[in-house]
Amino acid sequence: MTTFLPKEVQDGLDAARLAGLRTSRRLKVRVAGIDYPVLRLRSDGFSVDQERVPALRGLVDLFDGSAHLYRCLIVACEAEAGVMRYEFKRSPQAPTAAPLDYYRDPQAPAGLLPRY
Segment 21-38, tens digit of pLDDT: 555 568 888 888 888 888
Taking alpha carbons only, the member of 47, 43, 44 closest to residue 80 is 47
Measured CA to CA, the distance from residue 60 to residue 89 in angstroms comes to 11
User: Which pLDDT band, with edges at 50, 70 and 90, does 2 fall under?
Assistant: low
Is the whole-model pTM more than 0.75? no
58-109 tens-digit pLDDT: 888 888 888 888 888 888 878 787 788 888 887 676 666 777 788 888 888 8
Domain ranges of the chain: 27-90
Scanning the chain, the segments in alpha helix (DSSP H) are 7-22
- Topology of domain 27-90 in CATH is Thrombin, subunit H (2.40.10)
Q: Which residue has the higher pLDDT, 29 or 110?
A: 29
Measured CA to CA, the distance from residue 51 to residue 43 in angstroms comes to 24
Interacting residues of 45 by C-beta distance below 8 A, sequence separation 6+? 74, 77, 85, 86, 87, 88
Torsional class of 40: left (φ above 0), alpha (ψ -120 to 50), beta (otherwise): beta
